[in-house]
């Protein structure tokens, strides 16, 4: 059975997709960009502040679905520039200090709304 997850503590979808969907005790979170859910605007600043907002958005969705960062098994990080990898990694690592998930990181030509980062996440219980 498929359960759609939606929380006002994370940004509303900017297209025809769900924030997350849970199927068979696995949660699939759509790519999150650094939108502040309170304002609906992209967080200004460098990769550090943008990554922090993305992780807060992911955390809000995980919490709404009854999961935590320790349940995350896979992340895919999309970066506007690989020059930002080290700074992104330092923020990302604060959220996964015990049970690090598998991960891939890619540089892409552009991200929605001019974001510097987007992260999609899979969690399982």
pTM higher than the cut 0.85: yes
Number of domains in the chain: 1
pLDDT, position 97: 81
Domain range for 31 is 2-124
Radius of gyration, alpha carbons of the chain: 13
Q: CA 75, 80, 81, 84: dihedral to nearest 10 degrees?
A: -60
Looking at the predicted structure, is the pLDDT value of residue 15 above 90? no
Q: What is the CATH number of the domain that holds 60?
A: 3.30.1330.40
pLDDT for 1 beyond 90: no
Q: What is the pLDDT of residue 64?
A: 98
């Amino acid at each position: 059975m498929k359960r759609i997850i939606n929380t006002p503590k994370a940004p509303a979808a900017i297209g025809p997709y769900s924030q997350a969907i849970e199927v068979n005790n696995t949660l699939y979170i759509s790519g999150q960009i650094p939108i502040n859910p309170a304002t609906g605007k992209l967080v200004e600043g460098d990769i550090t502040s943008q990554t922090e907002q993305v992780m807060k958005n992911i955390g809000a969705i995980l919490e709404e679905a009854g999961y935590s960062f320790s349940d995350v098994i896979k992340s895919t990080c999309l970066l506007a520039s690989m020059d930002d990898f080290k700074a992104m990694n330092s923020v990302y690592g604060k959220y996964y200090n015990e049970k690090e998930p598998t991960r891939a990181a890619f540089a892409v030509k552009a991200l929605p709304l001019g974001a510097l980062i987007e992260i999609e996440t899979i969690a399982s219980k």
